[in-house]
Amino acid sequence: MDEQLFFKKLNSLCTSKEIFDFLSSLEVMSDTMASGALQRISEVEVDDNGLKNPEGVLENEVFRALCFRFEFESSRLSNTGLLNALQALIKLRIDPQSTLMASLLSEGKERLGKGQLTIKNLCALGESLLELEGPSCATLEQIVNHVQEKDIEKWSPREVTMVYKMLQVTVREGEQYQDLLNRLNSVTLTIASQLSPKFTSIILSSLVVLHQVQAVSLVAALCKHSVKHIPYFTDDELINVLEAFLYFGHREQIFTEALETHVPKSIFTMHPQTVSKVMQYCCRKMILSKPIFDAVAESFISDADRLTTDQIAEYMIPFGTLNYLPPSASSLFRKLETVLHARLSHFQPHTLLNLLHSCVLIQRYPVNFLPKIFSPYFLQQLQAQPPGLDIIVTSQLTRLFLTVNLECPFYEGPKLFPKYQVKAFLTPRSSLDVHLLKRVKTGLLYLLKKRIYFSSEVSTPYFYIVDIEIKLDEEGFVLPAAQCEEVHRRIALCVDGRNRFCINSHNLLGEEAIKQRHLQLLGYEVVQIPFFEIESLQNCRKMAEYLQKKIFPHTYRLSF
């Protein structure tokens, strides 16, 4: 039979019985046709749980005859027939130690040594060896050395992807194969739009493992073309894509919008680990996506009991970090409290602290669980496990302690010992917009005439650092910043640059929101100076006019 007609008929058959009956009717088959038949059998008979009907396939006379042919005629097979058969038999779970598999592998490696394999053959052999022997297979490096000699411009998307997979397990140090990687990255950039969801995910994952931080344009292109694949990624593939974008620090608005469309529709069929990764991506990128967060809240209310403790934390922490309460907040936190009561002892110490800390950022007070957090035993557990009691952990403990004192006066449990408290909450330099602060200080100098009337980056006795502090006496006159007597009012100016807000949003991040809330409770008059109100002010006079209205709204001033 003509090969084209053979494969057309073969691909129309849907059971192994139909395939065996069809093969029995043929008098002659090329090795390419025979290996194609094995591949089609593997497609219809193998699912996620393995071979569906082992006895019906492996004991079938036609199947045994095909295997006999491949075992004893391996040296006379074409490269395509040999390697396609090997891949199909691996998928059919044929014993790797059998004489059949040993014969095919031996023949494949011999042809590799003689340099007889095309790029397609090299990729097929590499894929088979990865399946059979894993990343430690020494022959993979030999395959990659042959790959380097091939004309990369003519490779198919499948071949490009397979080479990335082989490089991922063979590149162990330094600049090994970096020239090949540079050429591969360039070619992949030109075919990014042709890659399937599976290939896109594999390549992104490989770029992470291979530390290809210089391949910025390739990552951007893969991100752009990932948008159309989002509904079709498997859970594992989407996790790989998100991990890659986190690793490379990449973010694309159209990708976020595609997630916002997909996640709410698929939330109840997505694997919890995928949902966790989506939330981690949003949290790390400071993306407050209300459609995603609202859907995750509903999912948590329904499915929290089947989540691991790590997944519970990964679902919930972004709500506090990004300072967002969904419409179902009351049900959401009621469910969280129920889960905590049932499984509190199952949480790792640092995971539990992160979770409870995120709750207080959005005014959800875990008072029933704070006695455990402040207990000497729990603090010892924190200290014993990485990262120990570092500045971030002690800041979280201190913020919980301060929240209890300021916002939960009814709490009567143990408090945090002073030795576990920080002297001041560190303000990361990245969250303080130095340029914006300088513009505000210049405007204040224009308004108040002398620099002595305000101070910047002021440490308070209450752990917080105030961006700008102004002191007033009882009659509302501004006092020198160094004066400590007769201070009747303290004004805290919070100069909030973009880094203190969720991305593309006017929603303050959780730690900045709780800071401003606590400063008010501590007696400060908090005046927020957000970037979006002052970026358009073009000179000192405009800034001074703005600051007067914000800080002294009831004071009339004739002119500057």
The first and second tokens of residue 284, run together, are 């790390």
Question: Whole-number mean pLDDT of the chain?
Answer: 93
- For the chain, the domains span 434-552
Instruction: Decide if 108 contacts 118 (C-beta within 8 A).
Output: no
Q: How confident is the model at residue 265 (pLDDT cuts 50, 70, 90)?
A: very high
Structure confidence at residue 502 (pLDDT): 96
Which has the closest alpha carbon to 35: 6, 70, 65, 71?
A: 70
Angle between helices 31-45 and 16-24 (to 10 degrees): 160
Burial class (CB in 10 A: 0-12, 13-18, 19+), 549: exposed
Q: Could you please report the per-residue DSSP string of 52-66?
A: S-HHHHHT-HHHHHH
pTM as predicted: 0.87
Residue 28: C-alpha distances to residues 25, 72, 249 (Å): 9, 17, 57
CA distance 30 to 2: 10
CA distance 248 to 208: 8
What contacts 24+ positions apart, CB below 8 Å, involve 331-339?
A: 331/301, 332/297, 332/300, 332/301, 333/359, 333/364, 335/300, 335/301, 335/304, 336/300, 336/304, 336/312, 337/366, 337/368, 339/304, 339/305, 339/312
Structure confidence at residue 53 (pLDDT): 87
Q: Which amino acid is at 366?
A: P
Q: Could you please report the per-residue DSSP string of 420-487?
A: GS-SS----GGGS-HHHHHHHHHHHHHHHSSGGG-EEEEE-TTS-EEEEEEEE-TTSPEEPTT--TT-
What is the pairing mode between strands 489-496 and 524-530? parallel
Residue 293: C-alpha distances to residues 125, 239, 259, 363 (Å): 45, 17, 11, 17
Task: Return all residues near 135 (Cβ < 8 A) that are at least 6 apart.
Answer: 169
Structure confidence at residue 558 (pLDDT): 42
What is the pairing mode between strands 489-496 and 50-51? unpaired
Main-chain dihedrals φ then ψ at residue 402, nearest 5 degrees: -65, -40
Structure confidence at residue 101 (pLDDT): 95
Q: What is the pLDDT of residues 216-258, one digit of tens each?
A: 999 999 999 999 999 999 999 999 999 999 999 888 899 999 9
Q: Where are the alpha helices (DSSP H) in 53-195?
A: 54-58, 61-72, 79-91, 99-113, 119-133, 139-147, 157-170, 178-191
Instruction: Decide if 275 contacts 267 (C-beta within 8 A).
Output: yes
Q: What is the pLDDT of residues 20-58, one digit of tens each?
A: 999 999 988 999 999 999 999 999 999 888 889 888 899
Question: Helix, strand, or coil here: 493?
Answer: strand
Confidence check: pLDDT of 450 > 80: yes
The first and second tokens of residue 84, run together, are 């396609």
Structure confidence at residue 291 (pLDDT): 97
Q: Which amino acid is at 80?
A: T
Structure confidence at residue 251 (pLDDT): 86
Q: Where are the alpha helices (DSSP H) in 16-60?
A: 16-24, 31-45, 54-58
Backbone CA torsion sign across 312, 518, 288, 236: negative
Burial class (CB in 10 A: 0-12, 13-18, 19+), 481: middle
Main-chain dihedrals φ then ψ at residue 126, nearest 5 degrees: -60, -45
Length of the chain: 560
Task: Return all residues near 293 (Cβ < 8 A) that are at least 6 apart.
Answer: 282, 318, 319, 322, 324, 326
Structure confidence at residue 224 (pLDDT): 92
Q: What is the dihedral of CA 350, 352, 353, 357, to 10 degrees?
A: 140
Q: What is the pLDDT of residues 272-301, one digit of tens each?
A: 999 999 999 999 999 999 999 999 999 999
Confidence check: pLDDT of 429 > 60: no
Q: What is the pLDDT of residues 80-130, one digit of tens each?
A: 999 999 999 999 999 999 999 999 999 999 999 999 999 999 999 999 999
Question: Helix, strand, or coil here: 419?
Answer: helix
Helix H or strand E segment including 361: helix 349-361
Backbone CA torsion sign across 15, 105, 112, 141: positive
Q: What is the pLDDT of residues 319-360, one digit of tens each?
A: 999 999 999 999 999 999 999 999 999 999 999 999 999 999
CA distance 209 to 199: 15
CA distance 108 to 79: 8
**HSE-up of 34 (CA within 13 Å, CB side)?**
25
